[in-house]
Amino acid sequence: MNSGTGRIVPLLLFLLAAWPAQAAGARVASVVDGDTLTLDDGRTVRLAGIEAAKPPPGRAEERRWPLAEGATQALAELALGRAVELRSAVTDRYGRVLALVLRDDGTWLQDALLKRGFARVHTRPDARERAAEMLAAEAEARTVQRGIWRTRVYAVRPADPAELRRDRDSFQIVEGRVLHAARVRDQIYLNYGEDWRTDVTVRVGRDAARAFARALIDPLSFAGCVLRVRGWITERNGPMIEATHPEQIERVECAPAPKKSGAPEQAEDDEDTDG
């Protein structure tokens, strides 16, 4: 064996080992939508870690939504009739398999859809493998405004309470500077404004705080940082996002944290909805 081949074999073994153990391969029988497919063995598979373009809430089903149609077509072109392997698979409460999906030629479907601009990253506590790679693929498409990134529907929202109230009960990506970070007993609040009663807040609950600690991340260190946070917008003393796992938060840039004396005292929220 020559020295070049000797270097390649260990590299291939390393790359294969980097993926968790795979489920038995199957063939894609049909495509349900831009991030869901069915296999010839009857399983329904949801592409873990992403959310493809779908009609906005309230849109009549009979009305066309080109972005959703484009996402479905893209997934069909990528996967229909192809043999696939499922990685890091879990089953959700609806009986669907959530998995990273690898085509028979090595194409990673999540990565391909993100780079084409037909999906955005939407991880969850039990489906967040390879989040960093998926975030990079999403950023590539967003930078050149490819696909969904050409429309306001999917645009990154500023951390503005008036605007986010219009996005209540929807999944959004929000970006802004955290003015204060406060720990209230075993919960952490990241406040984007001076008045936590009305401004945008990210809440890191008890279970999530433990997940951040395991990842060696201290949410209190986010004070003064511009963060890009993705999650569901709720209304609780102003617009709020629940951070249930570290992969929801991207640190864009940081400035020196404001003095703690400038942060108003924050009331405790007894409700913990971490997933």
pLDDT, residue 181, reads 95
pTM more than 0.75: yes
Domain-embedded: residue 180: yes
Same domain, 184 and 144: no
Same domain, 139 and 176: no
Note whether 239 and 249 are within 8 A (CB). Answer: no
The range of the structural domain enclosing residue 109 comes to 22-150
Domain-embedded: residue 16: no
Last residue of a domain, one of 150, 181, 200: 150
pLDDT, residue 54, reads 83
d(CA 145, CA 60): 27
Same domain, 118 and 163: no
Using left for φ > 0, alpha for ψ between -120 and 50, and beta otherwise, residue 252 falls in: alpha
Looking up residue 200, the CATH number of its domain turns out to be 2.40.50.140
Domain-embedded: residue 101: yes
pLDDT, residue 256, reads 63
Q: Which residue type occupies 179?
A: L
Domain-embedded: residue 6: no
**Six-digit token string for 206:** 């008890």
Q: How many domains does the chain have?
A: 2
**One pLDDT digit (tens) per residue for the chain, 275 residues:** 454 545 544 444 444 444 444 444 699 999 999 999 999 999 999 999 999 998 766 555 556 678 999 999 999 999 999 999 999 999 988 899 999 999 999 999 999 999 999 999 999 998 899 999 999 999 999 999 999 999 998 999 999 999 999 999 999 999 999 999 999 988 999 999 998 889 999 999 999 999 999 999 999 999 999 999 999 999 988 999 999 999 999 999 987 655 554 445 565 554 444 33
Note whether 154 and 120 are within 8 A (CB). Answer: yes
Same domain, 192 and 82: no
**Six-digit token string for 221:** 């260190």
Q: What is the pLDDT of residues 42-74, one digit of tens each?
A: 999 999 999 999 876 655 555 667 899 999 999
d(CA 34, CA 89): 18
